[in-house]
Structure 1
Amino acid sequence: MAEQEQAQAQMLLKERQRYEEGFLDCRNVQVSIALQKWGVPVELLYYNAWESTSSIYEHLYVNKKLPWLYESPCLVPSELGLIGVGYDEVQYATYEDAAAILQDVDYSEQVAFLWIVCGESPYAKPGFYGHPKSVHSVWVQGLSSTTSLDIELGDCTGGAGYWVRDTYPDFEGFVSETDFRRMVDSPYVHLEDRQVFLVRRPERNDSADKEQIMERFLERQRGLHDDATFYDMICRTVNLPEPEFFPEWKELYDCHSHAFKFLAGSRYAYSCFAESLVSSDHPWVRLLRDIARRADKLKNVFLMAAQSGRVDGRVVHRMCTELHRLEQEWFVSGHVELGREAQLRR
């Protein structure tokens, strides 16, 4: 029985992290995973994870910005103190500076993150890991050498290096000092991004300022509003003779898939905050996760459409109508009740 419960918990953790990766940016995904490993209730900072579909629509379709450039207020560093977590941002100019900083880190009590350039990552398949000049976050878990590790990379030649974890692509293993130098010292990593983000393990995991978090949640909640523009647009565009917003159907379907991936992650992350106030089997939490999973199915529909070049408009209309209905149901019931619950927690 205990093994079944453990397997179920592990499955839910993997599901949670998969949805988080669709919503949080690469840095915050890694920070969240690190805090979860320490047992820190990072989900308390998901109080503002609910993003309106109108904001998603404006970002992706009106402004045509990349999904990972969405400026969500969720899990910003300045709020880590609300859950008792301290951090430092240590500036560096060259790889040698960064190496000296990493040398002094106590990896049992701290986690370190740096910005690198995608095109210099030795463990990523070219063309499948963002733009070669894009800046991306990696998690340095420790200093190491190939002589003391099981080598996962065929081109390692020995010597010093770093034990690195990444979430896109999924990787955990040794990166040689030579490769890491190229990743960090690339001219595409601008001066303002050249900093080691150090997060300190809290002495206790029960030191969250829940009163302040509830205050911020209630303030955020008062400003939430949405409309049917996004869903109406999806239903309209899948039935047009020519694509709207983009010159090619593939681009439009890709954008639709990004939108629903982000939407699914937003709702699931928000459900984790709701769970911290009530319980995992509460109707509000179940409703939010039902919304997330339905949005995830629509993401998959459009991923396949981007490959095949076609989609069943009637199926999409039915799925969108039901998803929008559930979101409205949340707003008139769970949204209000969760606010009342937060009032009691202040």
Structure 2
Amino acid sequence: MGIDEERLEAAWRLLDSEVEQGRIPGGTVLVLRRGMTAAHAAGYSLIDGETRISATADTVYDCASLTKVVVTLPLVLQLIEQGMLALGDRVSAYFPAFSANGKGEVTVRQLLTHTSGMAAYRDFYSHGLAPDEIMAAICADPLVCEPGTKVVYSCLGYIVLGRLVSQLLGMSLDRAAENLIFRPLGMTSSCFNPPESWKPHIAATEYDPALGTFRWGRVHDENAYALGGVSGNAGLFSTAADLARCAAVWLDRGGFLISRAAVEAALRNDTIHLAGAARGLGWVLHGDPRDASGDLLSARSYGHTGFTGTSLCIDPARDLAVILLTNKVHFGRGRSIAGFAARVHNAIAASLTD
């Protein structure tokens, strides 16, 4: 792998320390390099009174916004490759109601790069709306800024993208993910709405007073849950090993699942005209304010994080991918995983011998 094992232990110790200091209940770090992997797990997937379930390298996590780059982005790219969609297409061409309140010129590219001007989030889930009603509410929602003028990280935009994928493919998003991503890549521990039989292997997330227990095996994101657990912004459950299979596609610069041309298009800085921003299609590029790659990975690195405490970082210059999965929100909502992920990435980068 070209990794100094003693130095790599520093990354493992960071995870152990985060657990010991009570910042996270548990987690897994997986390193993928040159087709080989090394992984370390620590802590617990569930802490409920006296009940403790140990986290393992095979624990299934609620990946939250990693759904955007693991599921939604590849499916959109596949549609573009097949000529069924284009980045410059107006979203209103597919959803006429979307043109309301100044959104008529918003493009697919702008949804992917979070430059649509749409709001970051709305609590549509709290109004008891059905999935079609939530989509109608998003279509009617006003912009918070002019399209193309600012990066506003928008879960709403990816909900729309998920619906667009489903409409064009003529199948639900979860079925599309299974048929076109999970099965081809051998991601056997990935799905939306995991079955009850998976529950002992799933990391629980936040305590839900309405349930009187933890959210365990059901998506943490409230809007995604209101959408039936299947959404373009969140809902993916997966393991570190499965996500490594996805990361390998990007490290190989495509050629399988998505084309090399699509990978190159996704990794161009589409927000270079916006001061301080570095956004590709879906991905957060090196130097963006949300960049969690740390200080020692190359300027070609890119990645994404998830609210539940997840991170995926890829550095093609070093043939390296790092997957960090935790159930941070098991202890409640608080700071982002980005700072901790950056420190893990620094330790792993320092362990590389070439």
So what's the TM-score if we normalise by structure 1? 0.29
Structure number having the greater helix percentage: 1
Greater C-alpha Rg: 1
